[in-house]
Amino acid sequence: MAQSFVSSDKVLFTSESVTEGHPDKLCDQVSDAVLDECLRQDPNSRVACETATTTGVILVAGEITTHAYVDVPHLVRAVVQDIGYTNADYGFDYRTCGVLSAIKEQSAEIAQGVNESIEAREGTDPMELGAGDQGMMFGFAIRETVELMPLPITLAHAVARQLAKARKDGTLPYLRPDGKSQVTVEYAKGVPKRVHTVVVAAQHDPGIDYQRLCSDIQERVIRPAIGDEWLDSKTRFRINGTGAFTIGGPMGDAGLTGRKIIVDTYGGYARHGGGAFSGKDATKVDRSAAYAARYVAKNVVRAGLADRFEVQLAYVIGGAQPISLNVETFGTGKVSDETIRKLIEEHFDFRPGAIIDRFGLRRSIYRQTASYGHFGRPEFPWEKTDLAETLARATGAKSALA
């Protein structure tokens, strides 16, 4: 985050989220459902599953090496049904959508590097698994919310979740599965002060009065999700900017796995290495190392070593150890960056096999990550702060474990 952000009297920052019925998120969920089913039957499955959708059709493609048998059409239809596309009037439904599959085995050349790391071949490290690709991954945490996540993305997810809840529990029965939220937070000297603007796009049945829709969304979705702490008399509400939103889901827009990577992470508040998560097993460090980086960042902040912290990792395909590790405290560090970096290297193992073991990443846990963000949710093992006390004691820092 730029220095001007923490020195300016007024800065506006915006993040967005989408519901599970958004076409891109539908694709993420299908890809992760395929991954989960492969892992359920064969925990050593290698999966790189991509999904695309448009009007009336879903395509599942990618490279999968597994002993599992997955009935792809059946699985896809089950996911689409669970999301809520159960009515042909929506322009897309689980009974009639076409399902195409184009899956092959993982490249033998990639498999060779994953099965036996560069270090194992050289005899310098017994850890066999190498990274499934090159790339860089970022982890971030900030003392801004109880989840140690940026406030804008936290609130955007809350609004999107409440929008889906109001549809599912019948509070607003005219809502349909597609939807988006966007929250702008006003900061002063880097501290959040209020919610400036809330934007909601809510798919709905035809014939719904626009003023009724705006009132319902404001009172039944936005206010319960954000609460009075952040909303005030000057907060602006923008609901369904074009007036009507009846054509949504794959009928209204094509969808693709991995196209909501900013929604999945920190809402643009922190940097992103560019790699998507969904549909990839944990040998793909795009996913597993990003989880590891978030775990480290959260523990550093919880330990009181910094109020705002980012860590970057980088890998080469086939390598077990990251080729670089960089830390950034944005001027909020209570000890030196070099001290934090050495502590991280001492207490965390970033080899893919070690990350998999630490978080139990060969389990079928992934579809639940594919909506409302991969971070800031206590049900995920990479959100634990069990390293914080160790880090605090090692430096004598005042821990924020309470």
Residue for token pair 């909501």: 260
Q: Taking a C-beta distance cutoff of 8 angstroms, is the pair 26, 80 a contact?
A: yes
8 Å CB contact between 265 and 375: yes
Kindly compute the dihedral angle of the four CA atoms of residues 385, 262, 285, 298, in this order, to the nearest 10 degrees.
-10
Residue 371's contacts (CB-CB under 8 Å, 6 or more residues apart) are 19, 20, 25, 28, 29
Using DSSP, state whether 65 is helix, strand or coil: strand
Burial of 325 (C-beta count, 10 Å sphere; 0-12/13-18/19+)? middle
H helices of 248-361, in order, are: 249-252, 261-264, 285-302, 337-347, 352-359
Q: Which amino acid is at 401?
A: L
**Which of 345, 324, 328, 333 shows the shortest CA–CA distance to 387?**
345
Do the beta carbons of residue 10 and residue 341 sit within 8 Å?
Answer: no
Structure tokens at 210: 């626009």
Answer whether 195's CB lies under 8 Å from 186's CB.
yes
Catalytic residues, by residue number, are 22, 24-25, 50, 63, 180, 245, 253-254, 259-260, 280, 284, 286
Largest CA distance in the chain: 70
Q: Which of 375, 359, 316, 394 is nearest to 119 (CA)?
A: 316
Long-range contacts formed by 324-330: CB under 8 A, 24+ apart: 325/350, 329/305, 330/1, 330/6, 330/306
And the tokens for 19? 């519901």
| Residue 78: other Cβ atoms inside 10 A | 14
